[in-house]
Structure 1
Amino acid sequence: MNKWLKITRPVNGFMGFFSIYIVGFIAVNIHISKFIVPLTLGAISVFLVTAGGNIINDISDIETDKYNHPDRPLPSGKITKNSARELAIGFFAAAFIISIFISILISLVVIMAEALLVSYEFKTKKIGLPGNLTISLLIGMIFLYGGFITSTIPEMILLFLLAFFSNMSREIMKDIEDIKGDFDRVTFPKKYGIKNAKIVSAVFILITISISFLPYYFHILSIYYLYAVLIDDFLFTITLLYLNKNISKGEKISKIAMISGMFCFLLGGI
């Protein structure tokens, strides 16, 4: 793969790109064609922000990547740090410019996402819970972004909360799983103990399950969502059971539940 393409990690970018269309369908269903232009511009901006964020990640991890991922463009010396920084700034600037053509409000959301990415890479990811909050906000913001584009922000707030709470639980589980290897990070389980971290993770799962029916209750999603989310809640319940038995397996089941949750949203959009 070309070094400039490789540093952007295009697979992540395209996942973000297509997620905007998915959120658009969830929000307006058959009326998505009316929003195809702003959704496409939004999808491109998400791709650019994601690519820029991946480059910043490589810049901040350049020293550890010399040992963990020596074949990556930065630690291998194929791309200089300054060139990578300029490329990231270029992607961020392009995303902002494109978003202006949708609306000023959308461009402000893009700036917020970019600021969160930069703060995470150079500050919050090393101090535990604030880093978990930042990543969970970014995961959930995809629904708010789609909501702003399609003028359905009230409906998207609940989906944002579901994505936020479920991802918070998984982020803490990942920190428990990686506690021995996180030498340069003061994660929540390192600071407050594994037992307390498991309790907090469980609380976030319980919140996710307890509010999962609300998108149907408030007529945001259809009856198909309610049927599907029962299966998703079952997966989250299994995650709870594995919190004490096998945290690694619990984290994997939680990931499956989050992916399944997106399909639940899609079904509910029908």
Structure 2
Amino acid sequence: MNFLRLIRYQNLLLLAFMQIVFRYGFLKHEAIYLFLSDFQYLLLILSTVLIAAAGYIINDVMDQETDNDNKPNNVIIGKSISEAMAYNIYFALNVTGVGIGFYLSNIIQKPTFAGIFIIIVTLLYLYATTFKRMLLIGNIIVAFLLAISILIIGVYDLLPLTFESNQKEMGIYFSLLLDYALFAFIINFIREIVKDMEDVNGDYNQGMNTLPIVLGVSRTAKVVFGLGIVATVVLLWYLNTYLMNNNLYYAVIYGLVFVVSPMIFFLVKVWSAKSKKDFHLLSQVLKWVIFFGILSILVINFNIKNNA
């Protein structure tokens, strides 16, 4: 159980679920061919999950002192799992994940694409060792990596079957994946700042340079409120422009209830949030926003089929 906690198995399940939903809840129902077989797509999911798990491990290895301040009861490295063992697991997960990525890149006849997996591993390592201490850089990297886990679906499943004759059609699906990737990036970027607010005391003691340390928690809450306003307005614009105008009313109602409403709750709460408990709740709310946002692709697909 300690190992599962170390690799944040809930987040890994969410990551795998997200990739499953996009392919089997949407792309498989469209009149297009997908390049990867079901087994090969499973390998793609496994590769991203293994590399993400390794990222969580190296982050905990490098964060031992900070975690002792922020969450002393949840520290695993050095207690339940030795640092040496953690490094061994980290190495094994990365080698396996990158190896699978190299295999899949050769399957689609784009061996250089294996560099995507190497870049992700490198960014996760640099995040844990350097970037998370730098103002906003760490937040951007974590949000970017979640977005990449969505875009990689198009790279390995759509791009190999994209030709001049179907480029416009495939572009529509790539565009949709990009929309969701941007959504995931924005919400996760805000969430990472909220998590920094939750961990501000331990981060300060370790000499980090996060936004709450630079501006103070109160001012950062106002910045997050502003970012949340922008994100909510963009969501409403998207619902009206791409869903309402295409008569996808079920999807609009779903978006308002399960995505926009939690964002409004978040905005109300973040304005006056002060305690660690408050910020933890807000972080969880944003995680649910991402979850329900990803699920919306199922509702959109159902709505499209129902209108046909």
Aligned match of 1:224: 250
Whole-angstrom distance in 2 between the partners of 1:208 and 1:76: 40
Aligned match of 1:153: 174
Q: Does residue 234 of structure 2 align to residue 234 of structure 1?
A: no
Unaligned runs of 5+ in 1: none
Give the count of matched residue pairs: 269
CA 1:167–1:218 in 2, change beyond 3 Å: closer, same or farther?
A: same
Aligned match of 2:84: 80
Aligned match of 1:15: 14
How far the C-alpha of 1:246 sits from its partner, in A, is: 2.6
How far the C-alpha of 1:217 sits from its partner, in A, is: 3.3
Q: Per the alignment, in what secondary structure is the counterpart of residue 96 of structure 1?
A: helix
Does the CA contact (< 8 Å) of 1:48 and 1:92 recur in 2? yes
Aligned match of 2:221: 198
Write the mapping of 1:51-90 to structure 2, written as runs, cut at 5 A.
Answer: 51-63=53-65, 68=72, 72=76, 74-76=78-80, 78=82, 80=84, 83-90=88-95
CA 1:96–1:243 in 2, change beyond 3 Å: closer, same or farther?
A: same
Structure number with bigger Rg: 2
Aligned match of 1:122: 129
Does the CA contact (< 8 Å) of 1:221 and 1:269 recur in 2? no
What is the TM-score with the length of structure 2 in the denominator? 0.73
CA 1:159–1:242 in 2, change beyond 3 Å: closer, same or farther?
A: same
Letter in 2 for 1:192: L
Does the CA contact (< 8 Å) of 1:120 and 1:131 recur in 2? yes
Whole-angstrom distance in 2 between the partners of 1:196 and 1:54: 29
Aligned match of 2:24: 25
How far the C-alpha of 1:117 sits from its partner, in A, is: 1.0
2:297 aligned residue (257, 265, 268): 265
How far the C-alpha of 1:114 sits from its partner, in A, is: 1.7
Does the CA contact (< 8 Å) of 1:216 and 1:225 recur in 2? no
Calculate the aligned-residue CA RMSD, in Å: 3.2
Letter in 2 for 1:262: I
**Higher deviation after alignment, 253-262 or 70-79:** 70-79
Letter in 1 for 2:265: I
CA 1:148–1:216 in 2, change beyond 3 Å: closer, same or farther?
A: farther
Whole-angstrom distance in 2 between the partners of 1:79 and 1:243: 36
Deviation by residue 1:70-104 (Cα, 9 ceiling, x = unmatched): 87365446562553453244234324324324533
Q: Per the alignment, in what secondary structure is the counterpart of residue 265 of structure 2?
A: helix
CA 1:203–1:26 in 2, change beyond 3 Å: closer, same or farther?
A: farther
How far the C-alpha of 1:121 sits from its partner, in A, is: 0.7
Letter in 2 for 1:83: N
Q: Between the two proteins, what is the percent identity of the paired residues?
A: 21
2:45 aligned residue (43, 46, 62): 43
Q: Does residue 151 of structure 2 align to residue 144 of structure 1?
A: yes
Does the CA contact (< 8 Å) of 1:38 and 1:149 recur in 2? no
How far the C-alpha of 1:133 sits from its partner, in A, is: 0.7
Higher relative contact order (CA 8 A, sep 6+): 2
CA 1:62–1:179 in 2, change beyond 3 Å: closer, same or farther?
A: closer
Does the CA contact (< 8 Å) of 1:45 and 1:99 recur in 2? no
1:250 aligned residue (271, 279, 282): 282
Does the CA contact (< 8 Å) of 2:15 and 2:49 recur in 1? yes
Deviation by residue 1:4-46 (Cα, 9 ceiling, x = unmatched): x775455543432332111223551414984534422211211
CA 1:69–1:143 in 2, change beyond 3 Å: closer, same or farther?
A: same
Aligned match of 1:214: 238
CA 1:153–1:115 in 2, change beyond 3 Å: closer, same or farther?
A: farther
How far the C-alpha of 1:158 sits from its partner, in A, is: 1.1
Letter in 1 for 2:147: G
Does the CA contact (< 8 Å) of 1:176 and 1:194 recur in 2? yes
Letter in 1 for 2:291: I
Does the CA contact (< 8 Å) of 1:13 and 1:47 recur in 2? yes
